[in-house]
Chain A
Amino acid sequence: DADVTQTPRNRITKTGKRIMLECSQTKGHDRMYWYRQDPGLGLQLIYYSFDVKDINKGEISDGYSVSRQAQAKFSLSLESAIPNQTALYFCATSDARPPYGYTFGSGTRLTVV
């Protein structure tokens, strides 16, 4: 099994729909992250969580929410999807100690039509 598993791998949804992307990790790390990746813009941090009770907004959190259900699970929700949320979404986990090497999932390709 992969260290970080994201579901679904691909999703097409309609404008205005609520959608949840799920992430689970087997690394045993406390820290988890959600990024989106767009061509030319690189990885943009949406939300991050340093432990189950700690949730923080990243640089582009508007339109998104998260839930940390357990140490191993961190889900991302789009409350009302819009076309400019079409992107590749990555979940990651990291150690709390240097070098903090991030382990990424394989990504969810989301298309909002």
Chain B
Amino acid sequence: QKEVEQDPGPLSVPEGAIVSLNCTYSNSAFQYFMWYRQYSRKGPELLMYTYSSGNKEDGRFTAQVDKSSKYISLFIRDSQPSDSATYLCATGGSQGNLIFGKGTKLSVKP
């Protein structure tokens, strides 16, 4: 089993839809959970970060971690065409080496 599993998609939704992106991880020692957004021909950029279980909200984005089921989610409300990108989940432990998911390609259609 890979340490971080992420459905690669692609995922296509109409503008205004609620988007749910998900990852699972295998190592219960992981403490830090992040979502990166990568636009075409660009490097990944940190979008959101959470520590341990719970929710974190930032504008239209909500990151959710359930450590009991080793499940990471990112929700995008009122999705916009500018949200079209590849979203990568990442997690890691106390050493700081992040493990990345393969990324989910999202397309938001006007």
What is the interface of chain A, defined by CB distance below 8 A to chain B? Answer: 4, 31, 40-43, 45, 48, 90, 92, 94-96, 98-107
| Chain A min CB distance to B87 (Å) | 12
Are A42 and B34 neighbours in the complex by a CB distance under 8 Å? Answer: no
14 further A-B pairs in the complex, CB-CB below 8 A; given A43-B88, A107-B41: A4-B43, A41-B102, A45-B97, A95-B96, A100-B32, A101-B49, A102-B44, A102-B90, A102-B98, A104-B43, A104-B44, A106-B43, A107-B42, A107-B43
| Chain B min CB distance to A99 (Å) | 5
| Chain A min CB distance to B99 (Å) | 9
| Chain B min CB distance to A105 (Å) | 5
Residues of B within 8 A of A101 (CB): 34, 46, 49
Shortest Cβ distance from A91 into B: residue = B43
What is the interface of chain B, defined by CB distance below 8 A to chain A? Answer: 6, 8, 31-32, 34, 36, 41-46, 49, 51, 88, 90, 92, 96-98, 100-103
